[in-house]
Chain A
Amino acid sequence: MSAVLEVKNLHIAFGGVKAVDGLSFDVHAKQIVAVIGPNGAGKTSAFNCITGFYKPTAGEVLLKGAAITGKRPADIAAAGVSRTFQNLRLFPDLTVLDNVRAGMHLYGGQNWADAIFHTPRFKRSEAAYTEEAHRWLDFVGYTGPRGVPIRNLAYGQQKQVEIARALARKSDLLLLDEPAAGLNYSEKQRLLELCHRIRNLGTAIVLIEHDMGLVMEVSERIVVMNFGREIAEGTPAEVKANPAVIEAYLGRDEDGEVQSHGDA
């Protein structure tokens, strides 16, 4: 299997803080990989390096074998990476549908002249955008209103829409930053099932997650980070048995679930 994502010896520092300090891991097609680690371990910073929001100070990121290191976020997204954010980053005053349409921007299908003259091409393209947006909302199991500003919705619904928006990008790789944070038990179960369905579309997933139960169940491989470094990598069973992980992370909590510390 060829690697969708290869992260090689990634570094980023903010002043004296080495947020990511030599991280390497691969993600293969249709794989679900979890990145875990205590708050401040550098997980979100690693995501930001991969997606171009931070420029890594050293290291390489390859997508399907091609280097995307240090490129502009929009170019990396166009190359086939899509993401959600740890704290929701939706477009608050826009409707649910418009938020999902954002993920579809690269579909094109119309230009400004089509818009001004309302050409048949424009009407077809708009209808396709709307239909596709509904389709992705259905896919993530969103049942709320779709024509209202997203700021009026419940938190769980907003999280669903953010995933729908990322999926509409139709990328090869989806990065989810704490998708289960703030969700209740049944919402987490639905997220688990959704991850499997996304994988079946042919999209590889990397997710940052604190809920160990969910991580153990959903992921094929787990990357464990602490202080910017990778301290372990392997299957859930291997990671569970790794003494370094138990000491640094799991050992702190008897029932295997680390207390959520809210937003890092």
Chain B
Amino acid sequence: MSENVDTTLAPKKIRPPSGRVSRLFESKWLGWVALAIAVAAPFVNATPYALNIMTTAAIFVLLASGLNIVVGYCGLLDLGYIAFMAVGAYTSGIVAKAFDLPLLFTIPVVLVMTVLAGLIIGAPTLRLRSDYLAIVTLGFGEITRITANNLAITGGPSGIFGIPGILKIGDFDFQQPAVFYYVTILVVAGFVLAAARLGKSRLGRAWRFVREDEDAAEAMGIHTYKVKLLAYTFGAIWGGFGGVLFAGHLSAVAPTSFVFLQSALVLMAVVLGGMGNMRGVVIGALVISLLPELLRDLAEYRYLAFGVLLIVVMLFRPQGFWPARGYEPERKPAEEREAVAVAGEQR
């Protein structure tokens, strides 16, 4: 009998939620607490330097939450994710400059372009097995950057600068650093929430089924290719919006911002934080984007320290700081369920 037992399903240590710390982490208020901290931060330190770093970190969180859809939920290893941010940033920059529009109004074009980019890159590559997918996405990421580096419309190696601000109503300019920071926080919070909610839906489950066992998912009637393409497209949209914020933040876009290292850093945030768990990924993104700044005192050793830290985390928590936990509440006892049903009928 024992030879029939599939050892790949043998119990692994995934600890059930217990203790005060994990209950705090699982609390539904945690998102609000994080948002409150982000809102309060400028009251503590509102120097241009601090605002710059916090805005950059928030954009990075958005990127990580988008890549988490692709890599964490759906299990598609994408090594060229930053290409979608490039598409978003260039599109909004070029359109805003050409028509002298506030960046806000470029969003519809950016949406169309990123969805197109997602479909164009995804449609051929998502038919591939996952190991090839990594290499092909890496290639597409580089192609995007090199293309931007060579085209006239993207401004070649020096890129485009003097991009208009996001919006100006009368005398009130949303481009002021503190205001821009709050706009960014709002947008990022919305996208992170949306991604987390997608993860807990029929579509999000389908992504996980594909990640866990593609054949079994197919056997249940899930069109795995379509589902993967959807994950990829959503990831692209998240990246595109990251690009709009990026273009607005710096009011300039250049190819050097979209090198492979950036894709790798976003991926690192996802893996380090805990693939598939949006809360973990947000923390991972904050660590990856803020730690180098905090380690600034170490001067040129800071990236070394950064690397060592990452290795240590991966050694002790190979699933990330805070992996997705596969637990949900058990069913309520029968009497309680009947009470609920009766109450439901009375309504």
Interface residues of A, Cβ cutoff 8 Å to B = 51-53, 72-75, 77-78, 82-83, 85, 87-95, 97-98, 101-103, 105-106, 108-112, 114-116, 118, 122, 125-126, 129, 134, 145-152, 155, 158, 165, 169, 181-182, 184, 260, 262-263
Contact = CB atoms under 8 A, between A and B. Distances in A.
Contact of A72 (B12, B16, B206, B218): B218
Contacts of B186: none
Interface stretch (B1-9, B34-42, B308-316): B1-9
Q: 8 closest Cβ contacts across the A-B interface?
A: A115-B201, A182-B4, A77-B221, A91-B212, A149-B326, A73-B218, A262-B3, A89-B216
Given A94-B212, A105-B202, A146-B331, A82 B9 contact: no
Given A74-B218, A134-B331, A145-B330, A263 B213 contact: no
B250 to A, nearest CB: 29
B216 A102 contact: yes
Contacts of A122: 201
A155 B218 CA distance: 23
A10 to B, nearest CB: 19
A155 B5 CA distance: 7
A51 B215 CA distance: 11
Given A77-B221, A105-B202, A93 B212 contact: yes
Count chain A CB atoms within 10 A of each CB in B5, B209, B331 and give the residue with the most: B331
Interface string B206-232: 101100110111111111100000100
29 contacts: A52-B218, A77-B219, A77-B220, A83-B219, A85-B219, A89-B213, A92-B212, A93-B14, A93-B324, A94-B208, A94-B326, A97-B328, A98-B205, A102-B222, A103-B220, A105-B205, A112-B230, A112-B234, A115-B198, A116-B194, A118-B197, A125-B202, A126-B201, A145-B330, A148-B326, A149-B326, A151-B9, A182-B4, A262-B4
B12 A151 contact: yes
Contacts of A106: 220-221
A74 B198 contact: no
A18 B224 CA distance: 29
Given A77-B221, A115-B197, A149-B14, A89 B4 contact: no
B172 interface: no
Given A92-B9, A158-B9, A262-B3, A147 B327 contact: yes
Count chain A CB atoms within 10 A of each CB in B14, B197, B198, B219 and give the residue with the most: B219
A136 to B, nearest CB: 13
A72 B223 contact: yes
B44 to A, nearest CB: 32
A124 B218 CA distance: 26
Nearest to A261: B3
Contact of B223 (A74, A89, A115): A74
A91 B327 CA distance: 13
B206 A148 contact: no
Contacts of B326: 93-95, 98, 148-149
Contacts of B221: 74, 77-78, 105-106, 169
Contact of A148 (B16, B209, B222, B331): B16
A109 B327 CA distance: 24
